[in-house]
Amino acid sequence: MPLSLLRSLQPGLALGLCAAVAGCGTVDGASRRIADAITPYKVEIVQGNFISREQVELLKPGMGRQQVREILGTPLVTSVFHADRWDYVFTLRRQGVEPQARRLTVFFRGETLDRVEGDTMPSESEFVATINKRRAGKVPPLQATEEQLQRNAGKAPQPQPPAPAPATASYPPLEPSVAR
């Protein structure tokens, strides 16, 4: 290439290089905005036993272990080293909602309930209300309107003829028959 041609292309090449570098920043910024707007589905994680305020109010000192188990269910954590202590732990993690974590510890003296310690538990109705809180957004109607039914009335799928029954083959027995 002649030297004069190379010198005349230098400003254009420099300008193109600058545009490419600037474009990378713009694409990167746009991809970041898209990633912020689109979030993947995260599985709801529920661990442990939910214990309501009503269940805790049913507990009375002097109850037996089996009575406590019937009211609260099987404890999430029991320890060989702390045989007189049952721990009930409940966690709930949902996308778009603050994680919930509650714990309740039941102490026994011998075979009878001594005391209960832990977080203040919500009533069943309060807990259901926190679960049913949905993120802001429009909920689609779950029922078709008359207009939609009319529009789709002629588009009913045609019934398919039944598939022919597969031919059955007779196979010899896997084990030889034993004569008696």
pLDDT at residue 105, as a whole number: 93
pLDDT digits (tens, 9 = 90+) for 36-47: 777 777 777 778
pLDDT at position 175 over 60? yes
pLDDT at residue 117, as a whole number: 94
Residue 156 belongs to a domain: no
Q: How confident is the model at residue 124 (pLDDT cuts 50, 70, 90)?
A: confident
Residue 80 belongs to a domain: yes
Contact yes or no for 65/111 (Cβ under 8 A): yes
pLDDT at position 10 over 70? yes
pLDDT at residue 136, as a whole number: 47
Quote the number of domains for the chain.
Answer: 1
pLDDT at position 24 over 60? no
pLDDT at residue 56, as a whole number: 92
- Note the Cα 175 to chain centre separation in Å: 50
Residue 108 belongs to a domain: yes
Residue 126 belongs to a domain: yes
Virtual torsion, Cα 25, 30, 35, 38, nearest 10 deg: 180
Query: For residue 89, what is the enclosing H or E element?
Result: strand 85-94
The two three-digit tokens of residue 165, written as one number: 């029954």
pTM: 0.50
Residue 142 belongs to a domain: no
Query: Which residues constitute the domain of residue 113?
Result: 45-132
pLDDT at position 26 over 70? no
Residue 39 belongs to a domain: no
pLDDT digits (tens, 9 = 90+) for 127-159: 877 776 654 456 666 777 888 888 877 665 667
Residue 28 belongs to a domain: no
Q: What CATH number does residue 84 fall under?
A: 3.30.1450.10
Residue 106 belongs to a domain: yes
